[in-house]
Amino acid sequence: MLETKTKGFLEPFKPFRDVECVPRHQDITSSTELSHSSVIGYVESLKKRVAELKHNVQSSSRKRARTENHRAESSADGPLLAEPVSTRAQDAVSVVSSHASARTATRRGHEDSSVRATMGAIGFLSRSAMAEPRGQSDELPRKFSLGEIISGALAIDGRDPSKASPAPKTPTIDGHLLPLTHDATSSHLRRFLDSIVFLPYLDEASLLEQYDIVVANNDRPDRGGRINPLHFFNVHMALAIGILMSPDSAHLSMLSSGYHAVAANQVHSILRSEVSLEHVHCMVMLLLYSLLSSTGGSAWHLLGLTVKTCISLGLHREPDAHADLTMAEANKRRWLFWTVYSLDRSLSIAMDRPFSIQDDDISVQVPPEEEDAAVPVQHISRKLHLSRDILLWNAHDVEMDAIGTSEQFVDRCYARFAQGGFTGTFIDAYDIFHAAVVCVCLAWRMSQQPPAERRLTKVTGTLHKASTLVTAIASRFPALASFQRVLLALSTCVMGEKHSDFNMITSEAFSPMIPRRIQQFIRYTFT
């Protein structure tokens, strides 16, 4: 009966019994990918491993108890025999445990290798899911550390603040060759201290004391080895910034870069040894340098990192009343935050970018000035909200006031430049450019009213001064040359060649460096 059923089942396949098989062309290899069974095996091996560890712990506890009991009995029988017997017992136990460990290791050899292979597969899948490069997951915590992120911001080319591209290698003076004596550096430090108004939290006396210590230890072979890294950083950054503020900064740029490089090398040590407030201070100093020199990295990235660090430390909130802080420490926290806040507002407004933190999220008070009381930030915000939309007098008076204020600002900057006391940051270049554009556009719109000719002549002089100042700053930040092209085109328009030069303004000169609102203002005025 079974044979009949089998013949009936095979009957349809008879036509294919004489067909020859064709050799395969596709190689078949064993798969190394993670399968469902391997995951189950991995879980089971973990359970076995946990059970073995528990067993080993229990065995060790029992052996320890037996050894202690044996020692107690031996000491009771005779003190002279206690030590030899105990020693022999320990030797026997150690020999037995070593043999047992060897057998256990041999038995678990294949299991551990399979576990490691499975873990490798799981790690590969996890890295693939997060789009991370294989083999670099162990470096991710280090790469995302604060020190590495600061180093990354310093490695960005600062010549074009609107972009983020790797900085070219620039020659610097070796740290051991840098002059560090009172005669060679005191003027640079004094120039920095004279401008310390933008760092209200910094104590001048403390910085001078640090300066004396660093200079006194300059001649030692282990220069900087016995000095606090933060003090070493502060002195070198103060010298680097002070040099850039001098009239001879163009000739001493390499010296300034050398001091900056030495200070930047101390950042990792400071992050390991100092409190978090000093981390923010270091980033502020690096940010100030980047505003003055294109070799200082990306000011925009340093600013964002500094603000985010302030937020993570809670500096934007008023210190807790129960916190163990003195009044001086609380005020330092406040001043440090408001310093970062002012830098954020200045840079964001100049580059026409959003603020890093909104006023509604801030509750920390403005520190008092000597005997005055602290000012709650809510009072300042409320006044700003009430007055920002108020327009006094008529539009003509407001426009005339804007023209006069802009001209006065450019004239003062140019006077300082002529006296050798002007050190412009790229934020200053933005401000000067904005002021010149406001003068030209508003004066052009009012040019039909008398005395139009005299007004346009004065605006032309303001344009020339602004162009000179922007050219001086663009020597350190080449991307600012786009400001020069716009000012030149506006000057040509004012002189009467409006239609011929407006095409150049819209197509060429409006680079990403030009803020969007300024572009719209110019187009609205000349179309």
Give me the pLDDT at residue 140, please. 46
Residue 161 Cα distances to 287, 387, 427, angstroms: 13, 32, 10
In the structure, what pLDDT confidence band is assigned to residue 7 with cuts at 50, 70 and 90? low
Of 373, 297, 292, 384, the residue nearest 345 (C-alpha): 384
In the structure, what pLDDT confidence band is assigned to residue 261 with cuts at 50, 70 and 90? very high
Give me the pLDDT at residue 197, please. 77
Confirm if 455 and 447 have CB atoms less than 8 A apart.
yes
Mean pLDDT score of the chain: 75
Give me the pLDDT at residue 302, please. 94
With residue 226 as reference, give the H or E element that holds it.
none
In the structure, what pLDDT confidence band is assigned to residue 152 with cuts at 50, 70 and 90? confident
43, burial (CB in 10 Å: exposed 0-12, middle 13-18, buried 19+)? exposed
Percent of the chain with pLDDT over 90: 29
Give me the pLDDT at residue 19, please. 58
Which residue in this structure is represented by tokens 């092209």? Answer: 485
In the structure, what pLDDT confidence band is assigned to residue 497 with cuts at 50, 70 and 90? low
Percent of the chain with pLDDT over 70: 63
Q: Per 3-state DSSP, what percentage of the chain is helix, strand, and coil (rounded to 5)?
A: 70, 0, 30
- 3-class state of residue 222 by DSSP: coil
Kindly report which listed range (209-213, 346-350, 391-395) carries the lowest average pLDDT score: 391-395
Which residue in this structure is represented by tokens 């230890």? Answer: 217
Which residue in this structure is represented by tokens 């580059």? Answer: 351
- 3-class state of residue 156 by DSSP: strand
Confirm if 310 and 337 have CB atoms less than 8 A apart.
yes
Kindly calculate the radius of gyration of the chain based on its CA atoms and give it in whole angstroms.
Answer: 37
Q: What is the mean pLDDT of residues 433-458?
A: 76
430, burial (CB in 10 Å: exposed 0-12, middle 13-18, buried 19+)? buried
pLDDT at 446 over 50: yes
pLDDT at 26 over 80: no
Backbone φ, ψ for residue 249 (5° rounding): -60, -30
Confirm if 290 and 296 have CB atoms less than 8 A apart.
yes
* End-to-end Cα, the chain, rounded Å: 101
- Read off the pTM: 0.66
Distance CA 295, CA 301 (A): 14
Confirm if 315 and 180 have CB atoms less than 8 A apart.
no
In the structure, what pLDDT confidence band is assigned to residue 279 with cuts at 50, 70 and 90? very high
Give me the pLDDT at residue 160, please. 77
Of residues 73 and 58, the one with the higher pLDDT is 58
Give me the pLDDT at residue 141, please. 52
Q: What is the mean pLDDT of residues 354-365?
A: 92
In the structure, what pLDDT confidence band is assigned to residue 187 with cuts at 50, 70 and 90? very high
In the structure, what pLDDT confidence band is assigned to residue 174 with cuts at 50, 70 and 90? low
Of residues 206 and 38, the one with the higher pLDDT is 206
Distance CA 484, CA 290 (A): 21
pLDDT at 58 over 60: yes
Give me the pLDDT at residue 136, please. 47
Q: What is the mean pLDDT of residues 174-192?
A: 83
Q: Which of 88-92, 93-97, 477-481 has the highest mean pLDDT?
A: 477-481
pLDDT at 241 over 90: yes
Of residues 104 and 518, the one with the higher pLDDT is 518
Residue 447 DSSP class: T
Report long-range pairs for 169-178 (Cβ below 8 Å, ≥24 apart): 170/257, 170/295, 171/254, 172/254, 172/257, 172/258, 172/261, 173/254, 173/255, 173/257, 173/258, 174/258, 175/258, 175/261, 175/262, 175/265, 176/223, 177/258, 178/255, 178/258, 178/259, 178/262
Of residues 152 and 382, the one with the higher pLDDT is 152
Give me the pLDDT at residue 155, please. 87
